[in-house]
Amino acid sequence: MECYFCGKEVPKGKGTIYSKKDGTTYLFCSGKCRKNVLKLKRVGKNINWTIYCHAKKKMVSKKKKGAKA
């Protein structure tokens, strides 16, 4: 399974699961990811060190290359 915030693979039996009152559950690989979501209200795709941000940058660069050709 993947971390909700950074997208890193979390091995079975590791990490932290957070459940909200409405029934949604989040899996976090570390306390750093948990704090960024719950306490600091950040979005993973806007933070440079996450996998989601790198994927977003690759998509943007592919679009730019396609437009030039």
pLDDT in tens, 17-52: 999 999 999 999 999 999 999 999 998 888 888 887
Residues listed for the chain: 69
Determine, yes or no, domain membership for 5: no
Q: Is the pLDDT of residue 69 over 70?
A: no
Compute the Cα dihedral for 40, 42, 46, 49 and give only its sign.
positive
> Which CATH number belongs to the domain containing residue 31 in this structure?
2.30.170.20
Overall domain count for the chain:
1
Structural domain range at position 41: 16-68
